[in-house]
Structure 1
Amino acid sequence: MAADGGTEGRADTYGHCDPRFSRVREVFDAHFADGEELGASFAVFLDGEPVVELWGGVANRRSGRAWERDTPVLAYSCTKAVTATAAQLLAERGLLDVTAPVADVWPEFARRGKERVTVEHLLTHQAGLPALEEPVPVEEFEDQAAIADRLAGQEPIWEPGTAHGYHALTYGFLVGEVVRRVSGKSVGEIVATEISGPLGLELWVGAPDDVAARAARLSAGDRPAEPAEPTASTASTAPSAPTAAELPGQGPGDPVYEMARASLDKDSLLNRALGNPPIHRLRGGANHPVVLRAGWPAMGAVTTARGLAGFYRDLVAGRILRPETLRDATLRRVHGPDRVLFLDSSFGLGYMRPALSFLTPARGAETAFGHTGMGGSLGLGDVEHGLGLAYTMNRMAGAVSGNLRAYRLAEAVYESLPRTGQAR
Structure 2
Amino acid sequence: MNGFVDGQVDPAFRVVRDVFEASFAEGQNAGAAVAVFVDGRPVVDLWGGVADARTNRPWLRDTAVVTFSCTKAVTATAALRVAHEHGVGWDDPVTSWWPEYGAAGKDSTTLADLLTHRAGLPAFDRAVSAVEAADPTALAAALAEQRPVWEPGTEHGYHALTFGWLLGEFVRRHTGATVGEYVRRNFGEQLWIGAPPAGVDPARVGFPPAAQQQWTDPDPIDAATVAAMARAYRDPESLVLRASTNPLFSHNDPEVLAAGWPAVGLVTSARGLARFYNDLVAGEFLPPDVLARAVGEQVRGRDRVLLLESAYGLGYVLPSENMILPASAAATAFGHPGAGGAIGLGDLTHRVAIAFTPNLRRDWLSGDRRAYNLVDAVYSAL
TM above 0.5, one fold? yes
* Structure-2 separation of matches of 1:252 and 1:320: 39
Could you tell me how far 1:143 is from its partner in structure 2?
Answer: 0.4
**Deviation at residue 108 of structure 1 after TM alignment:** 1.2
Structure 1: which 5+ runs fail to align?
1-8, 223-237, 280-284, 418-424
Alignment of 1:46-61 (within 5 A): 46-61=38-53
Task: Give ranges in structure 2 of 5+ residues lacking alignment.
Answer: none
Shift of 1:253: 6.7
Q: Which residue of 1 aligns with 2:228?
A: 258
Aligned 1:20-419 pairs, distance under 5 A: 20-197=12-189, 202-210=190-198, 213-222=200-209, 254-279=224-249, 285-397=250-362, 400-401=365-366, 403-417=368-382
Q: Normalising by the residue count of structure 2, what TM-score does the alignment of the two structures yield? A: 0.95
Aligned AA for 1:206? Answer: G
The match for 1:6 is: none
Check the 8 A contact 1:84/1:123 in 2, yes or no.
Answer: yes
Structure 2 SS opposite 1:310: helix
Answer yes or no: is the 8 Å Cα contact 1:220–1:239 preserved in 2.
no
Which has a greater percent of helix?
2
- Cα offset, 1:26, TM superposition: 1.0
Q: Distance in 2 between matches of 1:368 and 1:247?
A: 23
**2:86·2:174 contact (CA, 8 Å) conserved in 1?**
no
State the distance in 1 between where 2:244 and 2:159 align: 9
Given that residues 252 and 258 in structure 1 are in contact (C-alpha distance below 8 angstroms), is that contact kept between their aligned partners in structure 2?
no
- Residue 196 of structure 2 contacts residue 267 of structure 2 at CA under 8 Å; is this kept in 1? no
Q: 1:241 to 1:405 in 2, by over 3 A?
A: closer
- Mapped to 1, the partners of 2:242 and 2:270 lie a distance apart of 29
- When residues 267 and 249 of structure 1 are mapped into structure 2, their CA distance, relative to the original with a 3 A threshold, is farther
Q: Which runs of structure 1 show a deviation greater than 6 angstroms over 4 or more consecutive aligned residues? A: 238-241, 249-253
Q: Post-superposition shift, 1:18?
A: 1.1
Q: Distance in 2 between matches of 1:44 and 1:295?
A: 26
RMSD of aligned residue pairs (Cα, Å):
2.0
Query: C-alpha offsets along residues 304-337 of structure 1, whole Å, 9 cap, x if unaligned?
Result: 0000000000011111111111001111100111
The match for 1:234 is none
CA contact (8 A) 1:336 1:346 kept: yes
One-letter code aligned to 2:274: A
Distance in 2, Cα, partners of 1:146 & 1:318: 34
Give TM-score, length-normalised by structure 1: 0.86
Deviations along 1:69-97, whole A, 9 cap, x unmatched?
Answer: 10000000001000111011112223422
SS in structure 1 at match of 2:316: coil
